[in-house]
Structure 1
Amino acid sequence: MAGDLTDQEWARLEPLLPSTAPQRGGRWRDHRQVINGILWRTENGAKWHQVPDRYGPWKTCYHRFAQWEQDGTWAQVEQRLQAQADAAGELDWRARADSTVVRVHADGAGARNRGSAHSNRGQPKGSAAPAADRPPNCIC
């Protein structure tokens, strides 16, 4: 299926995953099928219950994803794949970012949260700008 792991990707990933040998609760569903379901869900931004039946029960996909996140399996797999790719010269560790890529949130750029366009910064809460009938430099 489109978007599923290729045979080449699976060949790199499979040896890094936990064994599918029978466990206390029985045999695990095929890792490749479940991982393809997890990938489908993350690529589509769908809810877990929307994972297509071809990937097995959505609860299986969710529980495998959550369990491996909690026990560190995903982190280990990522580290091993990264180390393999780095050793093969497949990674470029030089990264660049500029203002066309990284945007500052409006609050971080000095934008006001609410109110008028005129700033009351530096004035205590509840104080107002000088009244129109007073001279601009009057300390009244």
Structure 2
Amino acid sequence: MRDMFMLSDEGLARIEPFFPLARGVARVDDCKVISGIIHVIRNGLRWRDAPSEYGPYKTLYNRFKRWSEMGVFGNIFSHLSAKGGPPGVFMIDSTCIKVHRTACSLHKGGDTPRHIGRTKGGLNSKIHVITGERGRPLGSGPINLMGSFAL
């Protein structure tokens, strides 16, 4: 495949401290797996369509799912965005999303409240995203009913 993505040694060294420790059977090479995950996500592929050079597609999927649930990718993104220093320019974008009619009938339990409001147009959820000068997202969140929010 001609546009295969392979993470550089420098890039791998920056994120390797966030990988969980290996236990049990020897793992498939982390560099290949991370490169495969990035390739699948960047190209919008199904896991089954991942090139075999990255290792078994089931390994890519399992590692992505397990590490996502453990918060590994969130920690990596937080660390890398903090390393860049404060951006010189902030951009804020917001949008209103039409909520599906069953959203209000879901259970209200959980750690975070549901931010669903009622307007003339029906049930809506308003979201803000703040980005740096290159347009990379720094944070996002719903706004409250008063129209202000904090990231």
The TM-score bracket by the shorter chain reads 0.5 to 0.7
Match of 1:42 in 2: 41
Q: Report the TM-score, using the length of structure 2 for normalisation.
A: 0.55
Cα RMSD, aligned residues only: 2.7
Output the amino acid matched with 1:8. Answer: E
Q: Report the TM-score, using the length of structure 1 for normalisation.
A: 0.59
Higher strand share: 2
Residues 19, 54 of structure 1: alpha-carbon distance in 2 compared, 3 angstrom cutoff: same
Select which of 4, 14, 17 maps to 2:16. 14
Question: 2:91 is paired with a residue of what secondary structure?
Answer: coil
1:16 Cα shift?
2.3
Contact 2:4 2:39 (8 Å CA) reproduced: no
Equivalences for residues 52-67 of structure 1 within 5 A: 52-67=51-66
* Structure 1, unaligned runs of 5 or more: 111-140
How far apart, CA to CA, are the structure 1 residues paired with 2:13 and 2:70? 23
Structure (1 or 2) with the larger CA radius of gyration: 1
1:6 Cα shift?
2.0
| 4+ residue runs over 3 A deviation | 102-106
Residues 69, 105 of structure 1: alpha-carbon distance in 2 compared, 3 angstrom cutoff: closer
Residues 63, 93 of structure 1: alpha-carbon distance in 2 compared, 3 angstrom cutoff: farther
Output the amino acid matched with 1:6. Answer: S
Match of 2:81 in 1: 82
How far apart, CA to CA, are the structure 2 residues paired with 1:103 and 1:16? 33
* Structure 2, unaligned runs of 5 or more: 99-118, 122-151
Match of 2:28 in 1: 29
1:15 Cα shift?
2.1
